[in-house]
Homo-oligomer: A and B are copies of this chain.
Amino acid sequence: MARPGRREITGFSNPTVKALRALRDKKHRQRDGRFLAEGLRLLTDARESGILPSTLVMASEREAHPLLDALEADVAAAGGEVIETTPDILGKITGKDNPQAVAGVFAPLPTDLEAIDRTAAPIFLVAQALRDPGNLGTMLRTADAVGAGGLILVDDCADPFGVEAVRASMGAIFTVPIAQARWEDFLPWLRSGPGQLVAASLREAVPYRGAPYGAPCFVLVGNESRGLPEDYEAACDLRVTMPMKGRADSLNAAVAAAVLAYEVLDAVG
């Protein structure tokens, strides 16, 4: 028997289970707008940022935890739904063999350029055509760490609200403003106010160390395989490059963004 206020689901073929599982599918998730996040730590980060799930799904065999009790109470008080189900069904919903004890369904977050306040921080991250959801989540985590005012996703990037990106963000999905825009919309927006656009470049560029960064600084990295298009780089205020002492000519995109962001932070932070 579920506790009062909880709805109990015990069947894999339950329509709610199917609807929650479908949020793992990108096309369905983007139509629906809602997204899944799992784990008590992530959900507590969200709660402490003032964001509660519309639906909370808990494993019936979980151990008691005061943060989970607080989460459940807040969700119930806000009129949200609390579901209790088996660990197996929760694993099916989140797609993990060893699922966390809790997952939540969140309403869509705003992702237009108006979500970005360029006066809010000295640094912003921008990714162009970033395809790997793990890289995207890692960039969100780095954006949180350097105190960035947001992550702007230009052109066709991975879905920031997919389960893998949310997981890699370690909670930053709830704390870092995210915008999605085409380049032809991003550039006029950027140029409509103060902002230095700095490209991590594989081409002709100045050393990243001690380059003349200025706030608000928008740190731009390109696609994992192709880097930035040449005309995008040409539109930047500054092109910088990191030492490459080995055989390879590039870093992992999330790594490049972080190394550059920490250098910029030292100059403008």
A213 to chain B, nearest CB (A): 15
Cross-chain contact B246 with A175 (CB below 8 angstroms): yes
**Bound: A134/B146 CA distance, A:** 23
| Contact of A138 with B252 at beta-carbon distance under 8 Å, contacts A243-B146, A243-B269, A262-B259 already known | yes
Interface bracket on A: 35 or more
A45 to B247: give the CA distance in the assembly, Å: 8
A248 touching B172 by the CB < 8 A rule? Answer: yes
Copies in the complex: 2
Question: In the complex, what's the smallest C-beta–C-beta distance from A49 to chain B, in angstroms?
Answer: 8
Q: Which residues does chain B contribute within 8 Å of A209, judged by CB atoms?
A: 266
**Which residues of chain B have C-beta atoms less than 8 A from A49's C-beta?**
247
Known contacts A138-B252, A245-B269, A258-B259; 14 further A-B pairs (Cβ under 8 A): A134-B134, A138-B255, A141-B251, A141-B255, A144-B248, A146-B243, A147-B245, A147-B246, A170-B248, A175-B247, A209-B266, A242-B262, A254-B255, A255-B258
By a beta-carbon cutoff of 8 Å, the part of chain A in contact with chain B is 45, 48-49, 134, 138, 141-147, 168, 170-172, 175-176, 209, 242-248, 250-252, 254-255, 258-259, 262, 265-266, 269
Sorted nearest first, the 10 A-B pairs with minimum C-beta distance are A147-B245, A144-B246, A255-B258, A138-B252, A259-B262, A175-B247, A144-B248, A145-B244, A145-B251, A145-B246
